[in-house]
């Protein structure tokens, strides 16, 4: 049995140029964008409304917690200060 040796070059593959890399990237992005499932106008409106309502509720909640902690801190300062 004879071992066959594979001749390989020690030279690395040449890298594509900058403009070729950018061109390939843009082509790949365009291809992937065709695969995106875009929401309908109604879905987008509903999602936006949910986000706005949740931001408002969190704003109110954080404001209330901030006010309560502020009163608690002032009470501690008056008590021990």
Would you give the distance in Å from CA 23 to the centre of its chain? 24
| Under 8 Å between Cβ of 73 and 80 | no
Geometric angle at alpha carbon 13, from 8 and 16, rounded to 5°? 165
CA dist 7 and 22 (Å) reads 33
Q: Each residue of 22-73: pLDDT tens digit? A: 999 999 999 999 999 999 999 999 999 999 999 999 999 999 999 999 999 9
pTM above 0.75, yes or no: no
Residue written as token pair 């408002």: 56
């Amino acid at each position: 049995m004879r071992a066959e040796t594979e001749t390989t070059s020690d030279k690395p593959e040449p890298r594509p140029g900058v403009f070729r890399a950018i061109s390939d990237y843009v082509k790949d992005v365009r291809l992937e964008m065709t695969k995106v499932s875009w929401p309908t106008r109604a879905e987008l409106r509903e999602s936006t409304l949910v986000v706005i309502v949740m931001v408002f509720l969190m704003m109110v909640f954080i404001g209330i917690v901030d006010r309560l902690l502020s009163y608690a801190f002032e009470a501690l300062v008056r008590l021990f200060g």
